[in-house]
Each structure stands twice: as C-alpha cells, then as structure tokens.
A = this chain, B = another copy of it.
Amino acid sequence: MNIPPKVTLIDVSARDGLQNEAEILTPAQRAELVQRVSAAGLPELEFGSFVSPKAVPQMAGADEVFKTAVRNPAVRYHGLVPNMRGYENAVAAGVTDVRLVVAASAPLHEANFRRTIDESLADHTQIVARAKQDGVHIEAVIGGSFGDPFVGRTPVSAVMHCVDHYYAIGVRDISVADTVGMGTPKQVAEVITTIQRTYPDVTLGTHFHDTRNTGFANVITALDLGVLRHDASLGGTGGCPFAPKAGGNICLEDLVQMLYGMGVDTGIDLDGLIESARWLQGVLGKPLPSRMLKAGPVYPVFKPVSATPAAASS
C-alpha cells in the first residue's frame, strides 16, 4: 500500500456543500465559512460558483463571498465556472483560481448546463486562452466521471474525451468527480490509471460523493495510485433536498482523521475543523453526516470513545 507523506485537501463546502441545501446562506455567512476553513489550515478551497442565481440561488453573490472573506495569501480560493460569462464575473471579482466544470456524460451535462459537452469544451478553449492573458490558473473538473443518474456507468472513453480536450488546450490540472456517488474503487483505478498512462504530466485530483458509502474506499484507491489532491466537504455537507436520493460530498474532517491515522500530513488542525463543522451544523440547523461530530477523533490526540463499551462486542 502506497501511502504518501502529504496530501492536499480542497474544501468544497462553501460551493458543492451548500449549493443543494434548502437553507440558503447569505454571502456573509459563506464568507465566514470560508474564513473558518482557511483558518483551520486548508491550503485550498472552493468559495462558490459563478452560475445563474436564478438556477442556483444558494450560490448568488459568489463575488461578494470572495471579496468580503478575509483571505490568507497562502490559501488558494477557487471559483467554479461553467462558462465564459461565469469566467468574466469571477475575474471581475479578482478571482485568480478558476475551476472549469463539465460532465463526462451527455445527459448529466445537458441537464446541468443546458448545452452539449462539446459546446462547453469549445467555450472552455476560449476561457483557457483568456486565462493565460489574465494570469488566471485553470483546473478542469470532470463531473459524472464514473456514473450518470440518467444512463448509468460512464465509460472511460467519455472521460478521456474531456481529458484529451483539456490537455490539448494546455490544462494540466484535472480533477475527476463522482457527482452522484456511483463509482467503485475498481472503476476509480481504471479511470485514474488510464489518465496517468496517457498523460503522465497531468496533476490529478478527485472529487467523491458518499451517496453509496464508497467515497472513502474510492479516495484510498486514488491515494494508493499516487493521486495527491482530494476534494472533501466540511461536515459532509451536500445532497439535494429536492432529490432525496442524492448524497453529500465525502466528509472533510473524517478524511483528515483517517489520513492522520495513517501518518499522512494535511497541514490541517483537526480540532479546529471539527469546531467549524459544529458551527456549520448550527447554521444549517440539521445534523450533518460527519462522524467526527458524533464519534470524535482518534488522532492526532487520542480521546476515549466510550467509558463503558458494550458487552461481548467484536
């Protein structure tokens, strides 16, 4: 088992974690979330997405979140962008780290972005050209890389169609996303090794959801293959109140706890992170999936789990 000494975790709670919540947080609340997460030592985070506020009211005012949050110069603040209009709004707000988003599977892509995959990719070609002039860093996020709720499993070739495009236009940072939590470790290994063999100079990242409890198995599989960048969400937020079958992102503090248990450095203050997860749980007014909020950490400081374990446990 290949366990790296250090990995980079990217919190997506202020974007993917909140975009489907029934409770709509104000830009000021989201700015506080962003500040709390960066204060806990996250090296990177997504602060929001530049999409239509009509389509996703939860993300309205992403520019305000970016501008009002007290930013740490050592932290990278990513704005998610689906199209040129979103890119222009992000850059106008001063954003220098942009994540372009596409879906590998046509039905999922078209339902999300109301245009074809190739229309998005053509648009992204123009964005990448503009970003070079603007000095903006681009990372591509390929949603639905493992499955699409409308048609099932995503073939590796569909993921590679997007990867090929981004590589050809000069993007070297690519993240594969399991938007609906349909991926398995075997599939993760197939997608990742295909990209690694085809483009050894691409820096890969992952974005897993825990819809079907496979998130941590998927992330450990990617880790074992040398992938060192992983998205996760404070509190395990995510999921959609209008789609009861949707599930949240993998839980950031639970992932930090597992990594610390294996001696992997993330630079993150686990106790501070848990405190912020508790704050977020209060703001959202409902229990979050986080196991750290329930069971507490084992590492780095061991804390007793229970004073009276049940009899005859195993």
Query: Is A92's beta carbon under 8 Å from chain B?
Result: no
How many residues belonging to A are interface residues under a CB distance threshold of 8 Å? Answer: 85
CB of A133 within 8 Å of the partner chain:
no
Are B101 and A212 closer than 8 Å at their CB atoms? no
Docked pose: A287 CA to B258 CA in angstroms: 26
Give the contacting residue for A261; candidates B80, B186, B219, B294; CB below 8 A: B186
A27 within 8 A of B: no
A73 at the interface (CB under 8 A from B): no
A212 touches B314 (CB 8 A): no
Q: Which residues of B contact A19 (CB under 8 A)?
A: 310-313
Given contacts A217-B219, A251-B213, A304-B149, contact A314 B179 (CB under 8 A): yes
Q: Which residue of B lies closest to A59 (CB)?
A: B312
Q: List chain B residues, Cβ under 8 A from A103.
A: 313-314
Question: B309 contacts A262, CB within 8 Å?
Answer: no
Partner of A304, one of B150, B185, B258: B150
On whether the beta carbons of B258 and A217 are closer than 8 Å, the reply is yes
CA distance A250 to B304 in the complex (A): 21
In the complex the two chains form, is B311's CB within 8 Å of A51's CB?
yes
Chain A residues 274 to 314 lying within 8 A of chain B, measured CB to CB, are 291-292, 294-298, 302, 304-314
Cα of A220 to Cα of B220 in the assembled complex, Å: 9
Instruction: Quote the shortest CB–CB distance from A196 to chain B (angstroms).
Output: 14
